[in-house]
């Protein structure tokens, strides 16, 4: 992971807040201990943060430690409804919002207006375009099209693929893109690449003319489609849609409500340090990435390893071809009416539910992600939750309760803060820490708890902050659908619809061989097991358990003898199907009984017998469908590429009694 966590914040009207100033404040009785001030010239060189709410009281070190350990102690075990690609679209957006496009120009002429606008949050794709082809031509091929890279061939296995890696050139180790944070993990890098493709295809739709004019027209069209997608598709997935609609229809009530014409936006620390860190809870620990890294075998650590800033990718060692993303597994193209681009449920990746839990790898960040790779540090300092909390204390964030009062929403109750709804239960904290947490909840976990109690979408304080900051950032962008309310998209299915799947379809020409250039494994041909008198083994045992579930009195011995045959014939007669004593597809389908966690009985035993055919450590065949059986069923469903729900219904049962042809 790359080191991109901000270590200091220039807050307008307050000065620079850093760990040193936070430590001085914590050691002083004066909560307003002096903060370093900058000269006017130096202020212009700072990214412009602001504060919406009041300053908060510091969180005790004991509470930060206890909360961060609790948040990462229980790994998320539930997928939400949001396709996993939106996790990394959110990261791409965060980098766009905080991109300082004047950094590369520190030695050149930059006007005051350019400094202010370039160091203000905006949603104008500076992370994609940099300062444009006139000032940074090395990102472009011809003053119009952005460069793309070529993957590395695997000799005798896979060829190189043009346009499926970020551009990389020998003279520099890092990718040739304006914001190297977009090469810190493979998922955000492939997202950036999709936006390169989107821009290049839009360029090809622009009427011929002067190159600069064509570029400006293409960029405006790209940015406005991007903003429309964020407003109509991304935001309503992560924020209560009612809040989004209210903000975009009626304006802001919390943040920079009446800016003077021409004023550039600032970035509220409540957004940057708390509310928009929601994405951390959406991260999975494993992904079904493509046909080579399937069934959850693409570990999060590998996605970071196959990158330029967290890993070792370079022009000499580009992305290996077998790591190209299959976008069908990250976004649901059924939304766009493209069933041909829909993968089996077991191969589709959904983000984790937005709640108070973080996946386990985020409890042990590598040293290089926040300091020198060989740095020595206390283990807790590698915990992302702890780093989020200490950063909030560093900038004296208001508590969740303070922000609820300011926002005019009902505060969470003590029970809601401590117990929640399916996330982290803080009841195990000491009484003193529970009292501190419930009365003075750090803003980041407060916002996650709000989302958890709202079914996985930000609401209340968090929802209002995120919706208003997006609205203000769009309003302050060079191209803006907020300032141009009559603009409508023309690259989607109609004048009101443009989603991320529409962007990808346009960028990749609607072609499966570009959205998934590695193709699919040949479909595994399965045949349902046919049983008859004389057979023996585990499938006969499954049959006998299913017959016992239908109240046939026979012994489960795995031997298809005359008693089992007689029971099969009687069952066939009862079902009105051919009476031949042979258990084929029709007889099996009539025997299937849906079972799930909490069920008991013979059908559950049949499931357990089948699960033990693939279990390294056999589970008890006790007829009790508990958590161990459910986990075994989920792993079986993943391996079979069917919907992973832990329920053994007709589809899963059919896989249970089938073998390769």
Residues with Cβ within 8 Å of residue 501, at least 6 apart in sequence? 331, 332, 333, 335, 336, 338
Instruction: Assess if residue 22 is contained within a domain.
Output: no
Residue whose pair of structure tokens reads 């708890």 in the numeric block: 449
Average pLDDT of the residues in 405-428: 95
Each residue of 42-96: pLDDT tens digit?
A: 444 456 788 999 999 989 999 999 998 888 886 656 789 999 999 999 999 999 9
CB-count exposure of residue 550 (10 Å: 0-12, 13-18, 19+): middle
Range of the domain at 252: 52-102+119-516
pLDDT band at 261 (very low <50, low <70, confident <90, very high): confident
Q: Are residues 533 and 506 in the same domain?
A: no
- Residue 418 domain-assigned (yes or no): yes
502 and 583 together in one domain: no
pLDDT of residue 285: 87
Identify whether 18 is part of a domain. no
Rounded to 5°, angle at Cα 506 from 318 and 135: 60
490/616 same-domain check: no
**b or e along 494-532 (b: 16 or more beta carbons within 10 Å of the residue's beta carbon)?**
eeebbbbbbbbbbbbebebebbbbbeeeeeeeeebbebe
Same domain, 290 and 373: yes
Residues 183, 240: Cα–Cα separation, whole Å: 31
- Round to whole Å and give the CA distance between 271 and 426: 24
Identify whether residues 277 and 202 lie together within a single domain: yes
When pLDDT is cut at 50, 70 and 90, the band that residue 22 belongs to is very low
Chosen domain end from 462, 497, 516:
516
Q: Last residue of a domain, which of 498, 516, 534?
A: 516
Say yes or no to pLDDT of 384 above 90: no
Same domain membership, residue 472 and residue 597: no
- Classify residue 23: in a domain, yes or no: no
CATH classification at residue 582: 1.10.101.10
Summarised one tens digit per residue, pLDDT across range 345-364 is 989 999 999 999 887 666 66
170 located within any domain: yes
Residue bearing the bigger pLDDT, 88 or 659: 88
- Count CA atoms within 13 Å of residue 221 on its CB side: 20
| 37 occurs within a structural domain | no
Question: Rounded to whole angstroms, how far apart are CA atoms 522 and 512?
Answer: 15
The whole-number average pLDDT for the span 595-602 is 96
pLDDT of residue 310: 85
Could you tell me which of 272, 245, 225, 220 has the C-alpha nearest to residue 495?
A: 225
Do residue 473 and residue 609 come from a single domain?
A: no
pLDDT band for position 366 (cuts 50, 70, 90): low
213 with 346, same domain? yes
Count of domains for the chain? 2
Angstrom CA distances, 651 to 593, 648, 657, stand at: 11, 8, 10
How does residue 194 score in pLDDT terms, banded at 50, 70 and 90? very high
| Share above pLDDT 90 across residues of the chain, in percent, rounded to a whole number | 70
- 503 and 548: one domain? no
Does residue 576 form part of some domain? yes
149 beta partners: 165
The enclosing H or E element of 567 equals helix 562-575
CATH number at residue 190: 1.10.640.10
Q: Which of 26-35, 223-232, 315-324 has the lowest mean pLDDT?
A: 26-35
Task: Mark which of 496, 516, 536 sits at the end of a domain.
Answer: 516
pLDDT in tens, 455-508: 999 999 999 999 999 999 999 999 999 999 999 999 999 999 999 999 999 999
| Averaged pLDDT, 233-247 | 98
pLDDT > 90? residue 660: no
Nearest C-alpha neighbor of 81 from the set 274, 305, 354, 343: 354
Please check whether residues 198 and 266 belong to one and the same domain. Answer: yes
504 and 531 inside one domain: no
Of residues 19 and 17, more confidently modeled: 17
Q: How confident is the model at residue 171 (pLDDT cuts 50, 70, 90)?
A: confident
Torsion, Cα 390 394 396 398, to 10 degrees, reads: -30
Mean pLDDT score of the chain, rounded to an integer? 87
In a domain, 133, yes or no: yes
Same domain, yes or no, for 375 and 305?
yes
């Amino acid at each position: 992971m790359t080191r991109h966590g901000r270590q200091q914040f220039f807050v307008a009207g307050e000065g620079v807040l850093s760990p040193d100033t936070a430590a001085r404040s914590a050691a002083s009785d004066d909560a307003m201990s002096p903060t370093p001030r900058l000269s006017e010239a130096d202020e212009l060189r700072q990214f412009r943060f602001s504060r919406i709410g009041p300053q908060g009281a510091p969180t005790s070190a004991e509470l930060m430690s206890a909360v961060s350990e609790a948040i990462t102690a229980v790994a998320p075990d539930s997928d939400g409804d949001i396709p996993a690609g939106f996790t990394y679209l959110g990261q791409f957006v965060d980098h766009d919002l905080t991109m300082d496009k004047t950094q590369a120009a520190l030695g050149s002429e930059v006007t005051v207006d350019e400094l202010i606008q370039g160091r203000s949050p905006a949603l104008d794709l500076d992370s994609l375009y940099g300062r444009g082809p006139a000032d940074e031509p090395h990102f472009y091929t011809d003053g119009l099209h952005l460069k793309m890279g070529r993957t590395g061939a695997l000799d005798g296995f896979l060829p190189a693929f043009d346009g499926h890696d970020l551009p990389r050139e020998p003279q520099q180790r890092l990718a040739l893109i304006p914001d190297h944070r977009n090469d810190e993990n493979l998922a955000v890098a492939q997202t950036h690449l999709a936006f390169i493709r989107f821009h290049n295809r839009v360029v090809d739709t622009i009427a011929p003319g002067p190159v600069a004019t064509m570029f400006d027209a293409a960029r405006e069209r790209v940015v406005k489609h991007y903003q429309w997608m964020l407003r109509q598709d991304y935001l309503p997935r992560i924020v209560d849609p009612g809040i989004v609609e209210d903000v975009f229809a009626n304006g802001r009530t919390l943040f920079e409500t009446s800016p003077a014409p021409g004023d550039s936006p600032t970035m509220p620390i409540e957004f940057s340090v708390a509310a928009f860190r929601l994405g951390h809870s959406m991260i999975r620990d494993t992904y079904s990435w493509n046909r080579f890294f399937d069934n959850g075998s693409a570990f999060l650590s590998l996605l970071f390893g196959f990158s330029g800033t967290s890993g070792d990718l370079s022009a000499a060692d580009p992305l290996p071809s077998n790591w190209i993303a299959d976008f069908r597994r990250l976004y649901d193209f059924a939304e766009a009416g493209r069933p041909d681009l829909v993968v089996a449920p077991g191969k589709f990746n959904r983000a984790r539910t937005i709640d108070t839990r973080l996946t386990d790898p985020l409890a042990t960040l590598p040293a290089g992600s926040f300091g020198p790779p060989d740095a020595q540090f206390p283990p807790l300092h590698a915990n992302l939750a702890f780093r989020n909390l200490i950063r909030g204390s560093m900038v004296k964030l208001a508590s969740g309760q303070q922000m609820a009062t300011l926002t005019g929403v009902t505060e969470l109750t003590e029970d809601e803060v401590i117990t929640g709804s399916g996330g982290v239960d803080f009841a195990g904290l000491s009484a003193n820490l529970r009292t501190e947490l419930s009365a003075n909840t750090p803003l980041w976990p407060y916002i996650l708890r709000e989302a958890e109690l709202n079914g996985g979408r930000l609401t209340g304080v968090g929802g209002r902050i995120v919706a208003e900051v997006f609205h203000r950032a769009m309003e302050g962008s060079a191209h803006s659908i907020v300032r141009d309310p009559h603009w409508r998209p023309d690259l989607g299915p109609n004048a009101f619809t443009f989603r991320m799947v529409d962007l990808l379809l346009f960028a990749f020409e609607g072609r499966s061989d570009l959205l998934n250039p590695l193709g699919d494994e040949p479909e595994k041909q399965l045949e349902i097991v046919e049983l008859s008198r004389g057979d023996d083994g585990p499938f006969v045992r499954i049959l006998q358990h299913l017959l016992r579930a239908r109240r046939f009195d026979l012994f489960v011995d795995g031997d298809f003898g005359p008693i089992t045959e007689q029971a099969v014939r009687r069952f066939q007669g009862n079902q009105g199907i051919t009476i031949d004593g042979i258990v084929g597809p029709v007889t099996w389908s009539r025997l299937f009984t849906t079972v799930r966690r909490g069920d008991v009985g013979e059908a559950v035993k049949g499931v357990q017998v089948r699960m033990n055919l693939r279990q390294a450590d056999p589970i008890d065949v006790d007829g009790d469908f508990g958590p161990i059986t459910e986990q075994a069923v989920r792993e079986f469903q993943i391996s079979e590429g069917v919907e992973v729900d832990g329920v053994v219904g007709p589809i899963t049962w059919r896989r249970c009694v089938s073998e390769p042809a």
